Each structure stands twice: as C-alpha cells, then as structure tokens.
C-alpha cells in the first residue's frame, strides 16, 4: 500500500471507533437510566411507579425538539423512549437486539406482542384507563353511527326517502375531514391534549343529546332529520380533533417497546370488538323495548333514541375519566412554552415541511395511502367482483367477512410470525402482501380462491395498519405527532372516498361488460382489470415506501424475512472501508496452508507491503487460551460440538475485532490461516451441526466480514494426515478424528468454493509447494493491482457489526509467525 493509502486507512479507524463507542455509550446510558424507571413504572402499575414514569416523562420532554424520536430517545431518561433508545442503540452498537442470544438483555418486540404483551400494557394504569375510554368512545362511535342512521331513516316515510336519509347520515361523516382536517393536527400539537379531549367529549355529549331532544320537543320530521345531519357533521368535525389528540397521547403513556401490544389492543377493540358489541346492544335494546312496550313505543322509548342517549352519556363519562383519571396525558406532552410560542400558521406549515422532508414519514404516509386506495378499490368493485364470480350478494358478504377475518389475523398474529423483523421493513412488506393479494383476486376463478385472496388482503392490511400506527407513534417526536396523525387521518379518508367512488363508477360503467379479445377467445372483465391495476399500484407504493424507510439497507429482504420468522433476523453491518486485502488459506489437515502463507507473506514484504500473518484459532492471547481448550488432547475433557462451535466463534470475534479489521483499515494485506469456512466444514459437515446455524454464528461473530479471497488447498485427507504424522509433533483433538470425518470436511470446503467461485482459488495441494506458491502469488498480485483504491466491504450483512476495536500491541499478538 502507498503511504497515502495507509494514512487514509489510519484516519478511518478513530472515527469508526468513535462511532462505535458513542453508539454504545448512548444506548447503555439510556438503558441504565431509562429502562429501570420506565419498566418499574409500567410493571408494578402502582401509584409510585406510575409517578416515576410521569415525572421522568415530564422532565425529559422539556428538553425535546421537533424531529423524529430517534435523535431524542437516548437523551430521555425515565421515559418510554429510553427503552427504544436502548433497543435501537444496541443495534447500532453491534450487540444483538434480536435472535435467541440477543434477548438476554430484555424482552423483544415479539415477546411484547400477543397475550403476554397485552397483559403487560394493561398493567400500566394510565394506559388501562385510556383503553377503557377508547373502548367506550369506539362503542359510542359505532353505536352513534348506527343509531343516527337508523334514527334519520325512521323519521321519514317511503323506502327511497329512508335510503336517502340513511346514506346521507353516513356519508356526511366523511365530509368534515376536508374542512377541519388541516387544523386538527395543529390543535392537537398546540393545546393540552387532555383538555382537547375533554372539551371535545363534552361537546359531543351535548350534540348527541340534542338529536333526540329536538325530536322530543316536537319539531317536524324535516327539522329533525336536518338537525341530525348538522349535528352529525359537527360531531364528526369534533371527532377529527379528538382522534389526533388521543393518538398523539398514547405513545407518551407507555414504554416504546410496548407500543405495538398497545396498538394491537386498541385496534382489535376499535375495529373488532366494539362494532360487533354495538350492533348486538342495539339489537338487544330494540328487542327489549318492543318486548316491554307492546305496539308502538313512545318516541322517547324508541330504541334509536335510547341509543343516542346512551351514546351521549358515554361521551360525558369519557370526558370525566380523561379529565380526572388520566392526568398523565398532560404530563407526557412537550413543554407548553415551546408549543405556543409559534403561530398556528407556522405550526401548520412546519408540520407539512416535516412530513415532506422526513423519509420515514413520507414512506409511511405513501404506504398507508396506497393501502387505503387498494382497499377502496376492493370495496368499490366488490359487488361487481362477486357477480363476475357468478355468485350473488351472499358471496359479497362472505368476501367482506373474509377481509375482516384477515385483518384480525394480521393484527393478532402478525407480530408473533415476524418476531424481531424490522418494523419499517414489515410495514413495506405488508403493503406489498396486501397489494399482491388484490392482484390475485383479479385471477380468482372460484369463490374459494377469492376467499383466500380476501383473507390475505385483510392480513396484509392489518399488519400494515399495526406496524404503521406503531411506527407513527413510536418514531415521530411528540411535538409534531398530532399533525402527522391528522394528515394520515384526512388523507386516508380522502383516498378512501376517491377510490371507492371512482372504482365503483368505472366498474359500474364497464363492470357488466367484458373486453373480448376475439381472436384469442379470451374475455376479461373490466372489474378484474381494475383490481389488477389497484394491486400493481399498491405494490409500487409498498416498494417505494419500503425503499424510503428501509433501516437495513443491503440486507437481503427475503433472507431477512425467513431469518426473522425463524427467530434470527439478519442485521445490517456497518459499512466498513478496507484499504487492505483479506486473504484466507483454507483446507484440510496438512494441506500446506502454513507453508504457502509464509511464502506469500515473504513475497509481499519483499515488495514493501504491510503484511499481517495471522490464524484461527489462537492469534491473540485470549485466542491462544481458547485454542488450547479446543485442541489439547492431553486428558482435558473435550468440548461438546456446540461448545466447540461457540469457542471457535469467540476466538474469531476477538480476532476479527482486534487483529483483522484494524489491519485492513490501516491498509495491510491480512493473510489468515483458516477463517469462517473451517467452522462450516469442521463443525458443520464434520460434527454435523446445522450448517446454517454455524454460518449465522460466524457472521454474527465477524459482523459479516468476508475475505476478499479464499485460497483452498485441496488434498486427499490421507495425504494431508500422513504429512502431519511425518512432522512427528503428535496429533491434536481434531487431527485425531476419523478419515470419514476429514473427508466430510474436504467436500464441504469444495462445496463452498463451488457456491461462490469468484471468491475462491482452488488449488490441488498434492502438487509441489513451489508450483502452488506461484499460482497464489499470481492471483494476489492481480488483485492488488486492481484494488488500488481499497476494497469497500459493504457486504450484504449477515450479523451486526462487531466493529473495529483498538489494535492489539505486538506482544499481545500470537501470530503464526510468532508461534
Ligand atoms: N505441497 C507440498 N507437498 C508436500 N509436502 C508439503 C507441501 N506443502 C507442505 N508440505 C509439508 O506438509 C506438512 C504440513 O504442512 P503445513 O504445516 O504447511 O500444512 P497445514 O495445512 O498448515 O497443516 P495444519 O492443518 O496442521 O495447520 C509440513 O511438513 C510441510 O513441510
Ligand atoms: C478455525 C477453525 C479450525 N478448526 C480446526 C481445524 C484444525 O483441526 C484446528 C486448527 O489447527 P491448525 O493446525 O491451526 O490448522 O482447528 C475448526 O474445527 N473450526 C474452525 O473454525
């Protein structure tokens, strides 16, 4: 290497060290100061613990500024964020946040989902109360929707008028988003969220109560229906202020790690339990009233009117609970001075700028809109689609039911399936799954196929909904969270209305017809073309969202998904610029590795190159002790196969961090006698441990560092072992293994070379040492000439980066040359 290359390599090391160290320090600090408080707070659920949680939150919030929560998280002791900082911080610092080994330090996202997770969030008192409020509010919403619609319909005569009154009441609920939506988020961020929620609920109480009251006061049908519509519009407008305030408040009440379980609970409550419960209660009320009052009940006892009263008083109850029972909502919010010193207009424009400039938020918003557009098109075309299957209304309802079953499955089981997978990646993948399933609907030729497609659409949408909400709550700073939630809320309503409207229009125009491709005898329904287009658009949106939000760039997606499902997600390695060259000699016993390694080093040194000759196991003082544990056959007990694999991995982790990476960063040519392949061949093929697991272990140990070249010296084990025997130095534990064992090792090496031919130089090691040395030198010189700018080790990572540590001093090194 030239001196300048050496210098640049040398300069890179401190910064890499610094990055590593600061990442660890932040994460650990946040962990130590934060998790203790926050965990205590939510686990015990006692007044003291709650107070600890609150005080931590309030203090820390004062220091926060707008932006994503990432930046702030590590600085917030005693809050839920600290948990997240711990999780994210350790990931950056290279300790395993995932996989079986990684869980030792705390519970994983998967551990915190499902039944156990839900129980754990319900132990947090403020959240428990908010959940009850949400349940009541959601019940009220569904009940109110049904009750006002039934009520409006009951006020007029004739089926057309009844249908119009019913439809108008429902559609009017979507309109306020257009009018009030833009300022709803600003209000949620600007004013105390607890009082925003309380005032909204008191107003909704008054409005809901006014609907039956107007009727009781004897107003005409037209006035009653007209007021029902106006009141519904106002209630919806107020709800638009209430929802962002509530959504933005939730993340301040619970530790970040439990946000997903909390969202699972609230989504299942809002979209699963309460609508069914509301419909059942309304039906029961109807039956009870008609049973109790024979003939026509008086106006005030009409089930629809009673339902409106129940709904009105449920709002009053929630207002009281939020005002007096969940004061923590106010404590959790960012400091008031910071919130109010900006003008509302400025807050509004800042919110939009933040959304436009932040890739995570852009990706989330785009993905959510894409998913809702797809969902809207499925709804808009559902009737025509059911017809195109040759089925009637029953099929339409079945498909609808299937989507809801899928939603529930996605929300309930999704986190248990993907376990530790990055939530950002999971979000993008879920959108792609939902969209691809929409496309499969286009090809369904039988109701059973369509049902499977519909369940998958629901599952993908449910998982996207859960992961998106969790990401929005967990990664967006408190100061802008209300605005972001408001944009999502308004946008989704608009996209949904447009998608349903346009698709039903298009399907209506062309749905009953089929496009005949006469010559081919093929006919295509335009409804299916629409589904195909919607699915394709959704896939584009999902992939684009994925690209914008991906936090594991370079890590293969499907391998990561498969690894996550099996509990071992792949981790991104930190990009690592090597100014040097990493050459590994592999092969069976006595193949001539040490001989060739020494010759190559001499040759390169003659050329004035910086060469580090090293080996595994045993290149460091610690490694030397591990080596003797592994190989000494003098009466010491033999390690079990798994212990053996772990010991080799431990030696490798230390070797890479203290010898190999520092030398590569410096610009040296590192020549190692054995590396990862030896573990795959000896522990994998030889000891018959699962090769994939051994590979994952090694990747984890090395942070994904792969050699630039592996020189495989291939020789019949009998020849190699006879050379070893001729040395008269005795045999170590592995050399003493059977010939069958060594044959398995030999073929495993050859298989590895076949799988990645560019990285391997396979040489027949039964030839003379001179001949082999000539071929090795030729290949290495070729590589050195080609790599004057240094080799960028930006591999698809297989494990977290264990990073570069300070280089060992000479006396600490136990290289092959020394021994
Ligand atoms: N090409 C060759 N032909 C014949 N003998 C060789 C050749 N290369 C090396 N040897 C001899 O074989 C023996 C083993 O060589 P060496 O120590 O280099 O192999 P190794 O692969 O490093 O062995 P180990 O697996 O024990 O580390 C030595 O005595 C060496 O002199
Ligand atoms: C790195 C590594 C090595 N081994 C085995 C292979 C050999 O039998 C010894 C090392 O001895 P050598 O004389 O230095 O070649 O250890 C292994 O089983 N797994 C490994 O990962």
How many Å apart are CA 319 and CA 246, to the nearest integer? 12
Instruction: Identify the residue whose C-alpha is closest to ligand 2 atom 13.
Output: 589
Q: What is the mean pLDDT of residues 149-153?
A: 67
Q: For residue range 651-673, what is the model confidence (pLDDT) as tens digits?
A: 999 999 999 999 999 899 999 99
User: What value, to the nearest 5°, has the Cα angle with vertex 476 and ends 78 and 418?
Assistant: 90
**What are the tokens at 656?**
């890479």
Helical (H) or strand (E) element with 761: strand 760-764
**Nearest-ligand number for the alpha carbon of 727:** 1
User: Cis bond leading into 617, ω under 30°?
Assistant: yes
In this structure, the answer to whether residues 33 and 135 fall within a common structural domain is no
3-state secondary structure of 355: helix
3-state secondary structure of 764: strand
**What are the tokens at 570?**
């792949």
In this structure, the answer to whether residues 144 and 226 fall within a common structural domain is yes
In this structure, the answer to whether residues 168 and 60 fall within a common structural domain is no
In this structure, the answer to whether residues 531 and 587 fall within a common structural domain is no
Looking up tokens 């039911």 gives: 401
3-state secondary structure of 688: coil
| Ligand 1 pocket, residue 594 CB under 6 Å | yes
Q: Do 126 and 50 touch, CB atoms closer than 8 A?
A: yes
Q: Do 370 and 435 touch, CB atoms closer than 8 A?
A: yes
The CA 673 to ligand 1 mean position distance, Å, reads: 12
Q: What average pLDDT is seen over the chain?
A: 76
In a domain, 818, yes or no: no
Atom of ligand 1 nearest to the CA of 768: 1
User: What value, to the nearest 5°, has the Cα angle with vertex 764 and ends 759 and 765?
Assistant: 105
How many Å apart are CA 504 and CA 742, to the nearest integer? 69
Say how many residues make up the chain.
Answer: 819
**What are the tokens at 124?**
């947090």
| Ligand 1 pocket, residue 771 CB under 6 Å | no
The CA 735 to ligand 2 mean position distance, Å, reads: 9
| Ligand 1 pocket, residue 591 CB under 6 Å | yes
- Residues flagged as binding site for ATP: 587-594
CB-facing half-sphere around the CA of 612: CA atoms within 13 A: 30
Instruction: Identify the residue whose C-alpha is closest to ligand 2 atom 4.
Output: 678
Domain boundary among 41, 71, 95: 95
3-state secondary structure of 315: helix
In this structure, the answer to whether residues 303 and 386 fall within a common structural domain is no
Pairing of strands 669-673, 611-615: parallel
The CA 595 to ligand 1 mean position distance, Å, reads: 6
- Asked if the model's pLDDT at residue 47 lies above 60, the reply is no
In a domain, 329, yes or no: yes
Domain boundary among 572, 601, 617: 572
Number of helical (H) and strand (E) elements in the chain, helices listed first: 34, 9
User: In this predicted structure, what is the pLDDT of residue 653?
Assistant: 96
**Nearest-ligand number for the alpha carbon of 681:** 2
**Nearest-ligand number for the alpha carbon of 765:** 1
Q: How many domains does the chain have?
A: 4
Return the higher-pLDDT residue of 506 and 535.
535
**What are the tokens at 198?**
């309380």
Q: For residue range 408-420, what is the model confidence (pLDDT) as tens digits?
A: 899 999 999 998 8
Residue (of 657, 666, 695) closest to 679 by Cα position: 695
pLDDT band (50, 70, 90) for residue 517: low
ipTM, interface predicted TM-score of the complex: 0.98
Looking up tokens 């005569």 gives: 157
In this structure, the answer to whether residues 133 and 165 fall within a common structural domain is yes
Atom of ligand 2 nearest to the CA of 675: 1
The CA 685 to ligand 1 mean position distance, Å, reads: 22
From 584, 645, 672, 678, mutation site for ligand 2 pocket: most ligand atoms within 8 A of C-beta: 678
Atom of ligand 1 nearest to the CA of 596: 18
Looking up tokens 């090694």 gives: 698
Give the number of other Cβ atoms within 10 Å of residue 544's Cβ: 17
Residue (of 584, 585, 601, 596) closest to 769 by Cα position: 596
Q: What is the mean pLDDT of residues 570-574?
A: 67
3-state secondary structure of 511: coil
User: What value, to the nearest 5°, has the Cα angle with vertex 203 and ends 274 and 494?
Assistant: 60
**Nearest-ligand number for the alpha carbon of 648:** 2
pLDDT band (50, 70, 90) for residue 504: confident
Atom of ligand 1 nearest to the CA of 765: 1
In a domain, 100, yes or no: no
Instruction: Identify the residue whose C-alpha is closest to ligand 1 atom 14.
Output: 590
Which CATH number covers residue 518? Answer: 1.20.1250.20
Q: Which amino acids bring their CB within 6 angstroms of ligand 2?
A: 589, 615-617, 631, 648, 673-674, 678-679, 682-683, 734-735
Among the residue ranges 343-352, 495-504, 515-524, 610-619, the one predicted with the least confidence is 515-524
The CA 719 to ligand 1 mean position distance, Å, reads: 10
**Nearest-ligand number for the alpha carbon of 675:** 2
In this structure, the answer to whether residues 327 and 361 fall within a common structural domain is no
How many Å apart are CA 332 and CA 242, to the nearest integer? 17
In this structure, the answer to whether residues 419 and 329 fall within a common structural domain is no
Domain boundary among 315, 341, 367: 341
- Asked if the model's pLDDT at residue 804 lies above 50, the reply is no
- Asked if the model's pLDDT at residue 105 lies above 70, the reply is no
Q: What is the mean pLDDT of residues 771-793?
A: 78
In a domain, 817, yes or no: no
Pairing of strands 791-793, 760-764: unpaired
In a domain, 291, yes or no: yes
How many Å apart are CA 83 and CA 257, to the nearest integer? 6
Instruction: Identify the residue whose C-alpha is closest to ligand 2 atom 19.
Output: 679
How many Å apart are CA 3 and CA 785, to the nearest integer? 16
In this structure, the answer to whether residues 357 and 329 fall within a common structural domain is no
Sign of CA dihedral 800, 478, 237, 147: positive
The separation between the first and the last C-alpha atoms of the chain, rounded to the nearest angstrom, is: 26
CB-facing half-sphere around the CA of 69: CA atoms within 13 A: 28
How many Å apart are CA 719 and CA 742, to the nearest integer? 11
| Ligand 1 pocket, residue 514 CB under 6 Å | no
In a domain, 229, yes or no: yes
- Residues flagged as binding site: 587-594
User: In this predicted structure, what is the pLDDT of residue 121?
Assistant: 82
Q: Do 765 and 592 touch, CB atoms closer than 8 A?
A: yes
**What are the tokens at 366?**
């785009």
3-state secondary structure of 673: strand
Atom of ligand 1 nearest to the CA of 713: 21
Max CA pair span of the chain: 112
Give the range of the structural domain holding residue 243, as residue numbers without chain letter.
Answer: 107-341
CB-facing half-sphere around the CA of 390: CA atoms within 13 A: 5
Buried b (16+ CB within 10 A) or exposed e, 94-131: bbbbbbeebbeebbbbbbbbbeebbebbbbbbbbbbbb
pLDDT band (50, 70, 90) for residue 514: low
Atom of ligand 2 nearest to the CA of 676: 21
Q: For residue range 616-645, what is the model confidence (pLDDT) as tens digits?
A: 999 999 999 999 999 987 767 889 999 999
In a domain, 621, yes or no: yes
Q: For residue range 578-623, what is the model confidence (pLDDT) as tens digits?
A: 789 999 999 999 999 999 999 999 999 999 999 999 999 999 999 9
In this structure, the answer to whether residues 195 and 65 fall within a common structural domain is no
Give the number of other Cβ atoms within 10 Å of residue 523's Cβ: 11
In a domain, 819, yes or no: no
Q: For residue range 175-194, what is the model confidence (pLDDT) as tens digits?
A: 676 666 667 788 878 889 89
In this structure, the answer to whether residues 310 and 421 fall within a common structural domain is no
Q: For residue range 363-412, what is the model confidence (pLDDT) as tens digits?
A: 888 888 887 787 778 877 877 788 777 776 778 778 878 888 898 899 99
In this structure, the answer to whether residues 565 and 585 fall within a common structural domain is no
3-state secondary structure of 523: strand
Among the residue ranges 225-239, 284-298, 511-525, the one predicted with the least confidence is 511-525
Return the higher-pLDDT residue of 344 and 784.
784
How many Å apart are CA 316 and CA 307, to the nearest integer? 14
The CA 616 to ligand 2 mean position distance, Å, reads: 7
How many Å apart are CA 266 and CA 590, to the nearest integer? 65
Instruction: Identify the residue whose C-alpha is closest to ligand 2 atom 21.
Output: 679
């Amino acid at each position: 290497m030239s001196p300048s290359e050496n210098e640049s390599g040398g300069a890179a090391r401190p910064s890499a060290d610094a990055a590593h160290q600061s990442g660890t320090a932040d994460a650990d600090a946040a962990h130590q100061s934060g998790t203790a408080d926050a965990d205590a707070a939510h686990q015990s659920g006692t007044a003291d613990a709650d107070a600890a949680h609150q005080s931590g939150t309030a203090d820390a919030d004062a220091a926060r500024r707008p932006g994503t929560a990432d930046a702030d998280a590590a600085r917030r002791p005693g809050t839920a964020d600290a948990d997240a900082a711990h999780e994210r911080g350790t990931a950056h610092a290279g300790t395993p946040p995932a996989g079986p080994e990684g869980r030792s330090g705390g519970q994983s996202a998967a551990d915190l989902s499902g039944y156990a997770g839900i129980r754990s969030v319900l132990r947090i008192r403020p959240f428990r109360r908010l959940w009850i409020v949400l349940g009541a509010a959601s019940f009220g919403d569904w009940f109110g929707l049904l009750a006002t619609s039934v009520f409006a319909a009951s006020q007029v005569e004739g089926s057309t008028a009844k249908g119009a009154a019913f439809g108008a009441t429902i559609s009017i609920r979507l309109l306020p988003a257009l009018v009030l939506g833009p300022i709803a988020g600003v209000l949620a961020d600007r004013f105390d969220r607890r009082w925003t929620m309380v005032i909204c609920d008191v107003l909704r109480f008054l409005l809901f109560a006014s609907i039956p009251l107007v009727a009781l006061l004897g107003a005409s049908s037209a006035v009653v229906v007209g007021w029902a519509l106006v009141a519904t519009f106002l209630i919806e407008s107020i709800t638009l202020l209430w929802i962002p305030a509530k959504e933005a408040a939730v993340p301040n009440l619970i530790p970040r790690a439990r946000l997903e379980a909390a969202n699972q609970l609230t989504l299942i409550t809002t979209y699963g339990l309460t609508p069914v419960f509301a419909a059942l209660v309304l039906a029961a009320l109807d039956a009870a009233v008609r049973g109790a009052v024979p003939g026509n009940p008086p106006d005030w006892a009409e089930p629809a009117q009673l339902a409106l009263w129940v709904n009105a008083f449920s709002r009053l109850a929630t207002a009281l609970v939020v005002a007096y029972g969940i004061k923590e909502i106010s404590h959790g919010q960012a400091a008031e001075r910071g919130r109010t010193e900006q003008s509302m207009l400025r807050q509004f424009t800042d919110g939009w700028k933040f959304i436009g400039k932040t890739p995570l938020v852009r990706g989330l918003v785009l993905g959510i809109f894409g998913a809702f557009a797809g969902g809207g098109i499925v709804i808009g075309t559902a009737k025509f689609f059911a017809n195109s299957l040759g089925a009637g209304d029953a099929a339409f309802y079945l498909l609808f039911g299937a989507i809801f079953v899928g939603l529930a499955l996605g929300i309930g089981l999704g986190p248990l399936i993907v376990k530790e997978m990055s939530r950002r990646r999971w979000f993008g993948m879920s959108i792609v799954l939902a969209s691809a399933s929409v496309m499969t609907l286009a090809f369904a030729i039988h109701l059973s196929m369509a049902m499977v497609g519909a369940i998958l659409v629901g599952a993908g949408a449910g998982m996207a909904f859960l992961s998106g909400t969790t990401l929005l709550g967990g990664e967006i700073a408190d100061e802008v969270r209300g605005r972001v939630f408001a944009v999502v809320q308004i946008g989704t309503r608009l996209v949904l209305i447009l998608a349903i409207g346009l698709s039903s229009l298009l399907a209506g125009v062309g749905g009953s017809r089929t496009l005949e491709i006469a010559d081919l005898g093929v006919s295509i329904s335009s409804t299916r073309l629409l589904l195909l287009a919607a699915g394709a658009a959704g896939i584009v949106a999902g992939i684009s969202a994925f690209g914008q939000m991906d936090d594991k760039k370079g890590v293969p997606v499907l391998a990561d998904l498969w690894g996550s499902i099996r509990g071992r997600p792949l981790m991104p390695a930190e990009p690592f610029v090597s100014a040097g060259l990493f050459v590994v000699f592999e092969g069976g016993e006595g193949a001539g590795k040490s001989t060739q390694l020494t010759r190559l080093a001499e040759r390169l040194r003659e050329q004035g190159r910086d060469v580090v000759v090293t080996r595994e196991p045993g290149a460091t003082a610690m490694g030397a002790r591990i080596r003797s544990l592994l190989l000494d056959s003098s009466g010491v007990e033999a390690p079990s196969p798994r212990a053996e694999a772990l010991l080799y991995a431990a030696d490798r982790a230390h070797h890479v961090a203290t010898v190999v990476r520092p030398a590569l960063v410096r610009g040296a040519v590192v020549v190692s006698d054995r590396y990862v392949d030896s573990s795959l061949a000896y522990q994998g093929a030889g000891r018959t441990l699962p090769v994939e697991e051994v590979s994952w272990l090694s990747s984890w140990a090395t942070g994904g560092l792969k050699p630039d070249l592996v020189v495989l010296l291939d020789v019949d084990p009998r020849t190699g072992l006879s050379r070893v025997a001729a040395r008269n130095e005795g045999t170590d534990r592995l050399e003493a293994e059977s010939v069958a064992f060594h044959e398995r090792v030999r073929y495993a090496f050859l298989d590895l070379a076949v799988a990645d031919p560019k990285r391997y130089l396979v040489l027949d090691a039964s030839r003379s040492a001179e001949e082999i040395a000539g071929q090795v030198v030729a290949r290495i010189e070729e590589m050195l000439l080609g790599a004057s700018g240094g080799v960028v080790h930006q591999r698809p990572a297989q494990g977290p980066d264990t990073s570069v540590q300070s280089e060992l001093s000479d006396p600490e090194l136990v290289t092959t040359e020394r021994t």
